[in-house]
Amino acid sequence: KTIYILNGPNLNLLGKREPDIYGHETLADVERVCATVAGENGHAVRLFQSNHEGEIIDSIQRARDEAAAIVINPAAFTHTSVAILDALNTFEGPVIEVHISNIHKREAFRHHSYVSLRADGVIAGCGVEGYALAVRRICSLLG
Ligand code: DQA
């Protein structure tokens, strides 16, 4: 089965962007670790990143036909986007929310997540490894 790995704004700069917070690994590294874990369990991943809220919503709508599960790091849209929450609510498979940093250890405006109202699980503060943990969890849920 196919697992979508969706990434929100500024994550195209992962590895270059505030490395003290987000580390030195890139989105290509994220794709590699996710593909490895999924492959070990007989599944495949497709990674997508956009700086545009509507494109993330479009990709969630595509997932309805093309993916069995979603791992999503909505980045700053986590804290603002009812539209991404609504899109995820149209998706029937498992959804795991990932944050590279521990959003609860940071500014108060990062403590609330709209997406958590839909997510089956949330991983925060585990770095890029959090994506691999999320894919592992999706694999157990998919069986
Ligand atoms: C983030 C945390 C968000 O608060 C922030 O806006 C991001 C990345 C994370 O992965 O830690 O862009 O989702």
Q: Residues 6 or more apart from 26 whose CB is under 8 A from it?
A: 14, 15
Angle at CA 24, nearest 5°, toward 76 and 134?
60
Residue of the CA atom closest to atom 7 of ligand 1: 75
Q: Which range of residues forms the domain containing residue 82?
A: 2-142
Any residues with Cβ below 6 Å from ligand 1, and which?
10, 73, 75-76, 78, 99-101, 103, 110
Q: Percentage of residues in the chain with pLDDT exceeding 70?
A: 100
What is the domain count for the chain? 1
Q: For 70-118, what is each residue's pLDDT tens digit? A: 999 999 999 999 999 999 999 999 999 999 999 999 999 999 999 999 9
- Position in ligand 1 atom list of the atom nearest CA 98: 10
CATH of the domain at 127: 3.40.50.9100
- Is 111 annotated as a binding-site member? no
**Is 43 a known active-site residue?**
no
68, pLDDT greater than 90: yes
